[in-house]
Structure 1
Amino acid sequence: MGRERTLWLLLPRPLRQFPADLTAVVGITLLTILVATVPVIRETPLRIGFGLVFVLFVPGYALVAALFPEKGERAVEESDVDRSGESGIDGIERTALSFGLSIAVVPLIGLVLNFTPWGIRLVPILLSVGGFTVIAASVAAVRRWELPAEERFAVPYRQWAGATRTELFEPDTQVDAVLNVLLVCALLLAMSSVAYAVAVPQQGESFSEFYLLTENDEGELVADGYPTEFVAGEPQSLIVGIGNQEHEPTEYSVVVQLQEVERTGGANDTGGEVTVNNREQLDTFQTQLDHNETWRQEHEVTPQTTGEDLRLVYLLYNGDVPANPTEDNAYRSTHLWISVAESESAAADES
């Protein structure tokens, strides 16, 4: 005990005198940063719990503490008339303002980050909101120290604990005892429900994203400007994209075909029936993705079949590819309508 006391006295005086509630605020901020960034812990429900408190309550509480360092109900002496308007706010108002200001401050910080090189990402948000909270808590501590001890705000932990103990274990009537038991049971049920909802979230719809992109002049990937004119034997590039939302690791296979088709009743993608007369398989490749992982790969298309209104088809399969891959047995598919001309050398040989 004496050794712990000695170590405590070795700390700087401002740290030893730092208010308990503001110490808790700074502690929650640091723990949230750790929980959100440490590889193993960030995958647990702790991240959600600490994150909600960090975003919805802690910044506002620190700001309220800096704005109102005095007690909520401060006695005003007759000789202190000119300070009578400085009375603080009570606990309920402080709590309500903490939620309200947090909801106001955090989006503003995000808006500022959006116009910086760092953008709205996890680490910049953690550091900016955490830095704001620590600075506000430090200002609150300094402002409290400037007030007389009897006027400083302090969370009445012992008073609350004593009142709770008396209410629960020393009720005035049997009715109060029954109501206390029901209240405790209701709180335990509510906490259990929240914990279960966080620990075992409902699984949403399972699906996979499958799409084609191109690269524009600025180097950005866009769903536009697809090549439609090809020359036999000459490659052109497309970007194949797959997004795994299956809630489990999934192995994907992609088959690329160039199809000669006959269309009746519609043009291109406007409807009608399409009959495939011939299929040229251009390529097959595989990849494995974890849940919520996205994969993009540049793919060079080098057709050999020539003709107009050919259909370049990408077929996506979960797992192995069947012996006869078609749009009907594919998990997902996407296509482009292209024309393939003969190369100059082939045309010269024919002539």
Structure 2
Amino acid sequence: MSHPTSTETRLGFLRWYPLDLALVSLAAALSYLAVTSFGPETAPRLLVTFPLALFLPGYALVSVLFPAGERAAQQTATAPTDRRPRGIDTVERLGLAVALSLALGPITVIALPFAGWELEAASVAGGLAAVTIGLAQLGVVRRLRTPAAVRFTVSIRTIRERLIGADGRGVTVSSVVLGIAIVLAVGLLVAAFLFPASAGGYDQLALYSETEEGDLVAGEFPDEVAPGESVPVTIEVENGGDEPREYTVVVQEQMIEGGEVVDSTDHEQIETVVPGGETDDGTYPVAPTAEPGETVRISVLLFEGDPPIGATNEDALEETYFWVTVAEEPAD
């Protein structure tokens, strides 16, 4: 004979689900949706990036490491057999959340290529959101396995007690100092994003080749070409500033011996004006003039305005290159 399970029994777990970890998981998911929905360099996307990169993953990890709340003074004098998980106070928990988030971010970015994801904003946000949600669920398990009497909880009453102290004596000096340090660190980082030190922005130069399907890919140039054969090269220039800039791109064929350029030949000098915050690209054929059997370096150099006479890689704002060998002529 079967007995119906009451709704209260089925949903009882939700009553015990930690509120802060539920909010962290929800915030991570919403941050990912915002990053993929809003365009780059927009205020909403920038606002959601900060908590996702600087707080949420670390807070979830802290919840796994420290499921218990702060141990009171009278509780610290218990017998050595006390197996209760060590707790930390709220200020320490927030400080560790920021520090661990800064550590988890690079690890997540490094792991993305191994998972087959490209390094772009959507994939990084997705990786951070997945790490946050996964750690938050582990934190839920750890916290629910901790005795309720010592379990870390979030409520208006517990927040007030942690801020002013359960005995009314107020916060400790170390908590105040740590809290101020956290605020200053986050504030300086936000200011660095909003007001970069270099008002002129940055310049970027990239090379692409075209596949048989017509897609542009980086770093897939032929290693060898026949004498007189040209290599189509797509050159992209990005102006990271706010104002239009005039650029000159110089394409050089360089002969290298002992790590030094012993001879160079200019193939192209491309002049372009790129509006602020935009990119410009074009495809140009480059036919090496080296003798058969020689290997040369094709360097692409970016200059603002006119390049100097006898321009070198050291003179350029940005440089990139690839190597190519001119094939031996077939014997008669």
The amino acid of 2:285's aligned partner reads H
Which secondary structure state, in structure 2, belongs to the residue aligned with residue 291 of structure 1? coil
Give the alignment partner of residue 66 of structure 1, picking from 61, 64, 67.
Answer: 64
Q: CA deviation at 1:243?
A: 0.9
Q: CA deviation at 1:118?
A: 1.6
Which secondary structure state, in structure 2, belongs to the residue aligned with residue 299 of structure 1? strand
Structure 1 residue ranges without an equivalent (≥5): 1-8, 166-186, 257-268, 272-281, 302-313, 320-324, 335-351
Amino-acid identity (%):
23
What are the equivalent positions in structure 2 for 1:87-236 lying under 5 Å apart? 87-91=85-89, 92-155=91-154, 157-158=156-157, 160-161=159-160, 198-205=193-200, 221=219, 230=228, 236=230
Q: How many angstroms apart in 2 are the aligned matches of 1:70 and 1:326?
A: 64
Q: 1:73–1:87: 8 Å Cα contact kept in structure 2?
A: no
Q: How many angstroms apart in 2 are the aligned matches of 1:141 and 1:326?
A: 61
Who is 1:22 aligned against? 21
Which secondary structure state, in structure 2, belongs to the residue aligned with residue 84 of structure 1? coil
Q: CA deviation at 1:73?
A: 1.0
Query: With structure 1 as the length reference, what TM-score do the two structures score?
Result: 0.52
Q: CA deviation at 1:240?
A: 4.8
The amino acid of 1:241's aligned partner reads I
Q: 1:45–1:199: 8 Å Cα contact kept in structure 2?
A: no
CA-atom RMSD, angstroms?
A: 5.8
What are the equivalent positions in structure 2 for 1:79-94 lying under 5 Å apart? 81=79, 84-91=82-89, 92-94=91-93
The amino acid of 2:71's aligned partner reads E
Which secondary structure state, in structure 2, belongs to the residue aligned with residue 154 of structure 1? coil
Distance 1:270 1:45, change over 3 A: same
Distance 1:149 1:247, change over 3 A: same
Q: Does 1:293 align with 2:291?
A: no
Q: How many angstroms apart in 2 are the aligned matches of 1:72 and 1:56?
A: 23
Which secondary structure state, in structure 2, belongs to the residue aligned with residue 73 of structure 1? coil
Q: CA deviation at 1:227?
A: 8.1
Q: How many angstroms apart in 2 are the aligned matches of 1:144 and 1:198?
A: 35
Aligned length: 274
Distance 1:110 1:211, change over 3 A: closer
Q: 2:67–2:152: 8 Å Cα contact kept in structure 1?
A: yes
Larger radius of gyration: 1
Query: With structure 2 as the length reference, what TM-score do the two structures score?
Result: 0.55
Which secondary structure state, in structure 1, belongs to the residue aligned with residue 82 of structure 2? helix
Who is 1:347 aligned against? none
Structure 2 residue ranges without an equivalent (≥5): 1-7, 165-181, 211-216, 252-260, 288-299, 310-315, 320-332
| Larger helix proportion of the pair | 1
Which secondary structure state, in structure 2, belongs to the residue aligned with residue 86 of structure 1? coil
Distance 1:284 1:12, change over 3 A: same
